[in-house]
Structure 1
Amino acid sequence: MGDSKKYITAEELKKHNKREDVWISVQGKVYNVTDWIKQHPGGDIPILNLAGQEATDAFIAFHPGTAWKHLDNFFTGYYLQDYEVSEVSKDYRKLCVDFAKAGLFEKKGHGVMYSFCFIGFLLCLTFYGVLFSNSFLIHMLSGALLGLTWMQISYLGHDSGHYVIMTTKGFNKMIQIMSGNCLTGISIAWWKWTHNAHHVACNSLDYDPDLQHLPVFAVSSSLFKSLNSTFYGRELTFDSLAKFFVSYQHFTFYPIICVSRVNLFIQTLLLLFSKRKVPDRFLNILGIMVFWTWFPLLVLSLPNWTERVLFVLTSFAVTGIQHVQFCLNHFAADVYVGQPKGNDWFEKQTAGTIDIACSPQMDWFFGGLQFQLEHHLFPRLPRCHLRNISPIVQELCKKHNLSYRSLSFFEANRWTIRTLRTAAMQARGLIWDAVNTHG
């Protein structure tokens, strides 16, 4: 008997890449997910970024085994003609199966409990130092402790966003609102919106929001072409103001990072009060109100405005170390322009990420994100396993002649500043050309 299956070509699949007509292929079967994107827990952007494509590796990376049964509801009856799996993808998928069989995605260790205790301890020290001491130095130390607390809370929120760290999804959501909105003032809804897009479109200049920092920073001269951000739905304008800021970005990087938390507060408010559909909008706004109640009251408990301003700046500067780390993981890695592709998942993650080498004793400080490539390849894997799987990932990269970059914290900073300086010099060249052209 002949093959009775119905097939479509990759070119035909590509035509279904609009919001009102979204098809994807998973393991060669074609699915119509047009209606599903409206209720997809990970948001619509990750699916839209891979619309009209074969997206098996991305699907495997983000979804537990229980998600596969839901796919049948969207099956079109078509199969992808000439469906092939690269050798890299075969090895990657085998690793995913091996890790699942070993129960690594479910074994979360005791890290969550340790994090809760540590965060509680730091918060108690912070409040005690502010409320029960008259010492200027103690007040500043309390500000630094608050910054360190925010770092640890963000790691916990990050973990809960990628996998369920609590006993149920309901408790997991509660922890997300508590850790993100109530304690840091940054909405978990905003984080999920940007972070899921970042993972799928890692280091795409026009699809990855984590590289779209104009007019302040530009990691590549490709951004000088005023690319259109598909994430924000607007042009990333490289005008005279951007040229000026970018020309000095290797000098302004650290000072701006020290106060970059203000931008996160603003982005949170812009999203929560926008017309965009926001999951659990009321809970997110309620959580933000909690933050903007206790934090100002804590600051106002300090004796004078000099100490209040310095306290805030100190807390922002310390947590800025974490913002620097986020930049180190990607700014100096390879970038590209265009839509992410579903058939080179492993390759794109290796190209767009940089690991930070550190001793196991420092894992708490970096929150697992020092193993950035491992995290990007297996985002559902609890951070307690990342160090253990690192040698396996290195071997796979070596086997397929793919880059695996692991730098010390100092060296990663040097690479990042070098990348910013290169783009700054190119921006200065544009300014110089403009002056000579226009007199």
Structure 2
Amino acid sequence: MPSENKYASKYITTQELNRRIKEQNQALVIYANKVYRLDKWLKFHPGGELAIKHMIGKDATDAINAFHPDYVKKKNIHTFYIGEYVDEDACIPSAEADRATLDNTPVNNIAKPILSAITSSITSSITPSTTSTRRISSTSPPTQSSDAKLDLIHQERITEAYRKLDARIRSKGLYNTRYINYMYEVMRFGTLYALTWYFALTGTSTLHYLMSAVCLGAFWHQIAFTAHDAGHNGITHLLPVDGIIGVMTADLCGGLSMAWWKKSHYVHHLVTNEIEHDPDLQQLPFFAVSTKFVQSIYSTYYERVLDFDRAAQFFIQFQHLLYYPVLAFGRFNLYFLSISHILKEQRVAFRKLELFSMGLYWMWFSYLLSRLPYSLIIPYILISHMITVLLHVQITLSHYGMSTEELGPKEAFAAKMLRTSMDVDCPKWLDWLHGGLQFQAIHHLFPRVPRHNLRECQRYVKEFCKEVGIEYHCYGFVKGNGIVLEALRDVANQISLMNKVAKGIVEKELREHVN
């Protein structure tokens, strides 16, 4: 946007920034104390429009650094530069008098499970919140009302320490890919794929076909990890190459759209555990991690109201019991979301390649099913798909039991990631099973670090958390599951109570009307 360079060297205050966003519909983001106007880039952004829209009016420095390679930050983004940012809040010296006191007062337990928030006051949970939902658009600057909850000086200290941590991670070479690890992965899921066909084509008993189904499910489970790294541009670090790897693994081997995954997953990373914005939490009618869903909130991702209808009222009361059964069928929902996205969205990178690859997937999978006895086709489909339940548990485990509170745009990027994410502790020899994604909190801090380096990052992250006074949540697999189930049960109990109260009120009114 060269025409905007006339604004170069102009100072843009917070007030002016918000005015432009609200009145002139400008998509402005802050990066390294500079303001960039991204209106014309929205529809071309590889991570989708929403990823940018969620950053409008905010300091996106750490998010941009985390998700983008150096050439984007050093060259491409400056095309959209319009001026220098002046934070008026930072110019107010009123907090300076207390700086020494604040420096000696660490913030304890910034990241706390949703369980604590829910059980603290059942009364407040039953009373519907009056906070209005907010649609993401370039006309709506971010609200500042939640910033009062934050120690802003401490948030600045966290940000400074996080940037030093990132520099340290880079100096240790942990952003670099060890390709031998991906060779092992290819051998692993290649073996599983070969065994899938071997047992299916040479099968002489039900057991052989059962083994084929198990191997196929394990194959899908394993390739998801490689597709994940490719989606984050974390394998070759070359966007076109990693894009093709992603399509080959996700679309051709798994029947899932890489473009859909990127759009959904990038938004999840930026607005982790925000009820109205994070698509990974919006799983009605089966799951609700907060009683806020009772209000039938507006989803900025799906661009519609998520109705807390009769089905949701029923299922949510038993969500802690339905957690594993529903996740066992999660892959079928991913097919629906993938196909819907790739057919609906026209401006998608590798769209034709994705359509072709997904077509080939359904061809080879259909042919595989045709080699089975008719009576075993449905059991085969169910077993192979249900084997992937561990992957779905792994994904939800790291967030469903964590904080869903919104603390405002002034919260440090690192503080938010560690408040809303949980790591799973396991022995190193089990990393292949969890795929490295058991280090979800670390992955949210450094999304482009290859998974095989996340364990090595852990000790540096622990030192960082101790330094800035943030709790690093890392639990064993069993305990982590317990935290999630307890959180789901608490929400279920509260919603069940709300239903009983509402039913009692209706019955009372009916009795009074009859009398």
TM-score, normalization by structure 2: 0.81
- Amino-acid identity (%): 34
Distance (Å, rounded) in 1 between the aligned partners of 2:331 and 2:492: 23
SS at match of 1:126: helix
Residues 13 and 87 in structure 2, CA contact (< 8 A), matched pair in contact too:
yes
8 Å Cα contact 1:157/1:180 also seen in 2: yes
Secondary structure at the aligned position of 1:356 is classed as strand
Structure 2 residue 309 is the aligned partner of structure 1 residue 239: yes
State the partner residue of 1:382. Answer: 450
The question of 1:62 aligning with 2:67 is answered: yes
Q: In structure 2, the residue corresponding to 1:35 is in which secondary structure?
A: helix
**Aligned position for 1:13:** 17
Q: Which runs of 5+ in 1 are unaligned?
A: none
Q: Write the distance in 2 (CA, Å) between the matches of 1:16 and 1:103.
A: 41
What letter is aligned with 1:14?
Answer: N
Deviation (angstroms), 1:98: 2.5
Query: 3-state SS of the aligned residue for 1:215?
Result: coil
Matched, 1:73 2:73: no
Larger Rg: 2
CA positional deviation for 1:264: 0.5
2:421 is equivalent to residue 417 of structure 1 = no
Deviations 1:230-252 (A, max 9, x none): 11111111122211011111111
1:36 equivalent to 2:41? Answer: yes
- Provide Cα deviations, 1:355-406, integer angstroms capped at 9, x if missing partner: 0100010111111111111100000111121111101111211222212111
Q: What is the rounded CA distance, in whole Å, between the counterparts of 1:97 and 1:82 in structure 2?
A: 29
Does the CA contact (< 8 Å) of 2:234 and 2:449 recur in 1?
Answer: no
Instruction: Write the letter of the residue equivalent to 2:170.
Output: A
Equivalent residue in structure 2 for 1:208, among 278, 284, 305: 278
TM-fit CA distance, 1:276: 5.9
Asked if structure 2 preserves the Cα contact closer than 8 Å seen for 1:330 and 1:353, the reply is yes
**Residue of 206, 230, 241 corresponding to 1:160:** 230
RMSD: 2.0
Q: Contact 1:21–1:34 at 8 Å: present in 2 too?
A: yes
CA distance in 2, matches of 1:208, 1:14: 24
TM-score normalised by L of structure 1: 0.94
Q: Look up the SS of the partner of 2:292 in the other structure.
A: helix
Give the CA deviation at 1:104: 2.4
The residue number in structure 2 matching 1:149 is 219
The counterpart of 1:329, out of the listed 385, 391, 398, is 398
Retained in 1: the 8 A contact 2:296–2:307? Answer: yes
Which of residues 50, 53, 59 in structure 1 aligns to 2:55?
Answer: 50
Structure-2 residue corresponding to 1:405: 473
Residue 292 (1) aligns with residue 362 (2): yes
Q: Matched residues in 2 for 1:108 and 1:52: separation? A: 38
Aligned to 2:417: 349
> What's the secondary structure of 1:213's corresponding residue?
coil
> For residue 106 of structure 1, what is the aligned residue in structure 2?
176
Q: Partner amino acid for 2:13?
A: T
User: SS in structure 1 opposite 2:412?
Assistant: helix
Aligned counterpart for 1:310 among listed residues 373, 379, 393: 379
Alignment of 1:175-324 (within 5 A): 175-275=245-345, 277-305=347-375, 307-324=376-393
Tell me if the contact between 1:248 and 1:424 (Cα under 8 Å) persists in the aligned partners.
yes
- Equivalents in 2 of 1:117, 1:221: separation in Å? 45
Identify which range, 191-200 or 395-404, moves more after superposition. Answer: 395-404
Shift of 1:40: 1.5
Distance 1:75 1:343, change over 3 A: farther
Using CA pairs below 8 Å that are at least 6 residues apart, which structure has the higher relative contact order? Answer: 2
- Return 5+ residue gaps in structure 2 as ranges: 1-7, 91-154, 508-515
Question: How far apart are the structure 1 equivalents of 2:474 and 2:312?
Answer: 31
Deviation at 1:20, TM superposition (A): 4.6
Moved more, 394-403 or 212-221: 394-403
1: distance between equivalents of 2:71 and 2:347?
26
